[in-house]
């Protein structure tokens, strides 16, 4: 990237951020602004330094094009830019903060503590709300972060319809729906809504990861009945229009059959023959059945039905063969962040939620960026000055910079604080997306953490937002509860465990110290006395808890702090291109860089420590992904071929 292109990107970033805050301030002042008023008012720092210059320059056509692009970028971040047409036929614009920011929540110190605990448990951090409440390093995403949450949650809260483009069966079409509730099932977020089709009104679910455009809020109110709202709260995902269930028979080892019955209590297990047992299961449709077999990672042999065996063969034949652009045509940005505007608002919220202020180093750690990036972004915020001589209002961020060493400002670990003037309106606080994350995280953590502060925090959220989210409970609650109590009480557990590389259960004595949800799986960090070291365990691979006992005593310190994404400084850099239906498998990988491509595809750059992990991931993606980098370009093919020969 050339110096001039970097300057243009910096100017555009500052212009969009300042336009957003100007339109918010206009609403606070009871006004809306025409394009001419915005062009006349808005100033930014000259990239060459030393002065303030007009944000919009050039011909009328160039200014109009920039203005339209900036509005589109603001909307792409989930903010609703409203327009009204005056008597003079000119359009005037404003942003109602209530469309983006939830009413302020006054958490106590104890509530802030459990909120940070819950957010860390769910993995909200790198892009989400954890950075507003916790000074620790960011964690990878356990539940998918999406800017789409802001307009959807706001629409549910105001009982308004929404429209968005949606990918279904490899086609994109517009959906006009009445949103009812957001359901979180196995780490996946769904919007459950009422939609009108040729048969009338139906309650249906839409996966957030398959939304192809920013949801647009319409004019309410919606007409859903209480009965339909109750259906929405009970909705479960289905991936086929067929209502005929699918009977599936697989054969596997007795230890894995034991795990299957834990996850699928209605499964029927036959008697063992030659070290294998047959297990019968019922699924709602072929897709769910196929997903179950693929997730087994080759630990099961599919026996019937024949139609599913054929579908599995076709799937495995096409692993890692999708047409994709050459890796040389894919360009990742210098920073992994998707949106500087989103970062701006998040950093503002973090400062507003920190009475003592935040230093550059603290913001850099919270948001997983460099100190230079924070200094640049927040430095611009601190120097913005938008002034309208007729109305006398100024830029609303109200952020001041305290420098310990003004002579060396470019390297000083400056402190950013909020300053208030008489008559100031309410501060920017949490976005609706952040509030959604808090709601989900607290409900998830509430199954394992019994703390009055957690329940009072949930009550405060519900008073503000209502019950707009339902979190589906996973079937391992009893086992997870044992692990959670072992963490709380410093106990050791004697367990049977099936590792990723073994077909046999091993007995281990482990001392759990942390529990986290990641992509629909529950993980716990524990000291393993069998391996004489710290290990990460998946809860769904624990067979039985044979005994509990007090801790054996002092344990060595865990050498890995960010254990969920351990190894990101090692391994091999890989670039994968995934289609719109399978992108969710790759976007949520810890510390992944993601860039959008044509036709809903994404390119994902990540670091792979264990090549077998990538093999399994590519098999899960089937015909919907391709490794385009030279490194590990054949991932998954050998595993898929071996699996096909066994069918």
In the predicted structure, residue 422 carries a pLDDT above the cut 60: no
CA atoms within 13 A on the CB side of 416: 27
Give start-end residues of each CATH 3.30.70 domain in the chain.
566-646
Greatest mean pLDDT among 7-11, 37-41, 630-634 lies in 630-634
Q: Does domain 477-560 have CATH number 2.30.30?
A: yes
Distance between CA atoms of residues 359 and 401, nearest Å: 9
β-bridge partners, 167? 172
Return the closest-CA partner of residue 360 out of 369, 385, 346, 21: 369
Task: Note the pTM of the prediction, 2 decimals.
Answer: 0.69
Say how many Å lie between the first and final Cα of the chain, rounded: 50
On whether the CB atoms of residues 342 and 9 are closer than 8 A, the answer is no
What is the CB neighbour count within 10 angstroms for residue 70?
Answer: 23
On whether the CB atoms of residues 552 and 535 are closer than 8 A, the answer is no
| Average pLDDT score over the chain | 80
> Model confidence at 47, in pLDDT bands (50, 70, 90)?
low
What is the CB neighbour count within 10 angstroms for residue 4?
Answer: 9
In the predicted structure, residue 531 carries a pLDDT above the cut 70: yes
Give the residue ranges of DSSP H helices in 471-556: 477-489
What is the CB neighbour count within 10 angstroms for residue 382?
Answer: 16
Is residue 59 within a helix (H) or strand (E), and if so which, with residue range? none
Give Rg (Cα) of the chain. 26
Predicted pLDDT at 321: 94
> Model confidence at 382, in pLDDT bands (50, 70, 90)?
low
Return the closest-CA partner of residue 628 out of 571, 567, 573: 573
In the predicted structure, residue 190 carries a pLDDT above the cut 80: yes
Return the closest-CA partner of residue 94 out of 43, 36, 26, 16: 26
Predicted pLDDT at 428: 62
Predicted pLDDT at 202: 85
Distance between CA atoms of residues 191 and 177, nearest Å: 10
Q: Please write the tens of the pLDDT for every residue from 306-319.
A: 999 999 999 999 99
Return the closest-CA partner of residue 561 out of 127, 137, 123: 137
> Model confidence at 397, in pLDDT bands (50, 70, 90)?
low
On whether the CB atoms of residues 53 and 15 are closer than 8 A, the answer is no
Given the DSSP bridges, would you call strands 162-168 and 171-185 parallel, antiparallel or unpaired? antiparallel
DSSP structure string for 600-616: G-EEEEEEES-HHHHHH
> Model confidence at 633, in pLDDT bands (50, 70, 90)?
very high
Q: In the chain, what's the furthest Cα-to-Cα distance?
A: 88
Q: Please write the tens of the pLDDT for every residue from 230-286.
A: 888 888 775 444 457 889 999 998 888 888 887 787 889 888 788 899 999 988 777
> Model confidence at 572, in pLDDT bands (50, 70, 90)?
confident
| 3-28 helix and 371-383 helix, angle to the nearest 10 degrees | 50
Strand order across the beta sheet in which 625-627 lies: 593-596, 602-608, 572-578, 625-627
Distance between CA atoms of residues 429 and 349, nearest Å: 5
On whether the CB atoms of residues 164 and 175 are closer than 8 A, the answer is yes
Give start-end residues of each CATH 2.30.30 domain in the chain.
477-560
Q: Please write the tens of the pLDDT for every residue from 22-33.
A: 888 778 777 888
In this prediction, residues 632-639 reach a mean pLDDT of: 92
Q: Please write the tens of the pLDDT for every residue from 433-483.
A: 888 888 888 887 777 777 888 889 888 888 887 777 777 765 555 777 788
CA atoms within 13 A on the CB side of 329: 9
Please state which CATH number belongs to domain 566-646. 3.30.70
Distance between CA atoms of residues 629 and 635, nearest Å: 11
Distance between CA atoms of residues 145 and 434, nearest Å: 10
């Amino acid at each position: 990237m050339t110096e001039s292109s970097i300057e243009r990107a910096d100017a555009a970033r500052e212009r969009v951020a300042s336009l957003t805050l100007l339109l918010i301030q206009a609403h606070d002042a009871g006004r809306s602004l025409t394009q001419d008023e915005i062009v006349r008012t808005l100033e930014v720092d000259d990239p060459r330094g030393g002065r303030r210059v007009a944000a919009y320059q050039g011909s009328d056509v160039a200014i109009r094009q920039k203005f339209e692009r900036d509005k589109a970028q603001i909307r792409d971040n989930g903010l609703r830019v409203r327009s009204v047409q005056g008597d003079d036929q000119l359009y005037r614009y404003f942003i109602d903060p209530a469309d983006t920011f939830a009413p302020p929540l006054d958490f106590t110190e104890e509530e802030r503590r459990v909120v940070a605990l819950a957010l860390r448990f769910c993995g909200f951090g790198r892009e989400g709300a954890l950075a507003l409440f916790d000074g620790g390093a960011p964690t990878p995403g356990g539940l998918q972060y999406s800017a789409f949450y802001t307009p959807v949650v706001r629409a549910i809260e105001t009982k308004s319809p929404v429209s968005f483009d949606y990918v279904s069966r490899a086609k994109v079409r517009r959906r006009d729906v009445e949103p009812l509730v957001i359901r979180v099932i196995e780490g996946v977020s769904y919007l459950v809504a009422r939609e009108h089709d040729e048969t009338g009104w139906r309650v249906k679910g839409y996966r957030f990861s398959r939304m192809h455009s920013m949801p647009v809020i319409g004019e309410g109110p919606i007409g859903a009945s209480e009965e339909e709202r109750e259906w929405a709260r009970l909705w479960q995902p289905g991936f086929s229009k067929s209502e005929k269930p699918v009977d599936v028979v697989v054969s596997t080892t007795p230890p894995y059959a034991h795990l299957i019955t834990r996850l699928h209590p209605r499964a029927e297990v036959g008697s063992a023959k030659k070290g294998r047992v047959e297990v019968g299961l019922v699924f709602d449709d072929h897709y769910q059945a196929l997903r179950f077999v693929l997730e087994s990672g080759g630990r099961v042999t599919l026996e019937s039905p024949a139609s599913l065996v054929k579908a599995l063969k076709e799937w495995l034949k096409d692993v890692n063969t999708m047409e994709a652009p050459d890796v040389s045509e894919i360009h990742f940005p210098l920073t992994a962040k998707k949106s500087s505007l989103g970062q701006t608002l998040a950093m503002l919220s973090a400062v507003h939620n920190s009475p003592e202020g935040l230093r550059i180093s603290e913001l850099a750690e919270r948001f997983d960026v460099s100190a230079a990036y924070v200094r640049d972004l927040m430095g611009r915020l601190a120097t913005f000055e938008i002034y309208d001589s007729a109305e006398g209002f100024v830029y609303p961020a109200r952020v001041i910079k305290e420098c310990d060493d003004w002579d060396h400002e470019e390297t000083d670990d400056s402190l950013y604080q909020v300053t208030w003037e008489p008559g100031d309106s309410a501060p920017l606080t949490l976005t609706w997306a952040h509030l959604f994350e808090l709601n989900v995280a607290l409900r998830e953590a509430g199954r394992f953490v019994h703390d009055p502060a957690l329940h009072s925090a949930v009550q405060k959220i519900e008073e503000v937002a209502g019950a707009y989210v339902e979190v589906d409970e996973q079937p391992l609650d009893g086992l997870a509860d044992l692990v959670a109590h072992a963490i709380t009480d410093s106990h050791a557990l004697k367990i049977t465990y099936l590792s990723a590389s073994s077909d046999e259960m091993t007995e281990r004595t482990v001392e759990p110290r942390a529990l986290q949800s990641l992509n629909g799986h529950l993980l716990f960090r524990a000291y393993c006395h069998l391996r004489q070291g710290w290990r990460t365990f998946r809860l769904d691979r624990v067979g039985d808890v044979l005994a509990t006992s007090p801790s054996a005593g002092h344990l060595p310190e865990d050498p890995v702090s960010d254990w969920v994404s351990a190894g990101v400084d090692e391994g091999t850099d890989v670039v994968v291109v995934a289609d719109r239906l399978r992108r969710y498998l790759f976007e949520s990988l810890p510390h992944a860089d993601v860039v959008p491509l044509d036709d809903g595809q994404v390119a994902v750059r990540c670091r792979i420590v264990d090549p077998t992990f990538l093999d399994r991931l590519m098999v899960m993606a089937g015909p919907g992904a391709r490794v385009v980098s030279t490194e590990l370009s054949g991932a998954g093919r050998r595993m898929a071929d071996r699996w096909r020969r066994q069918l």
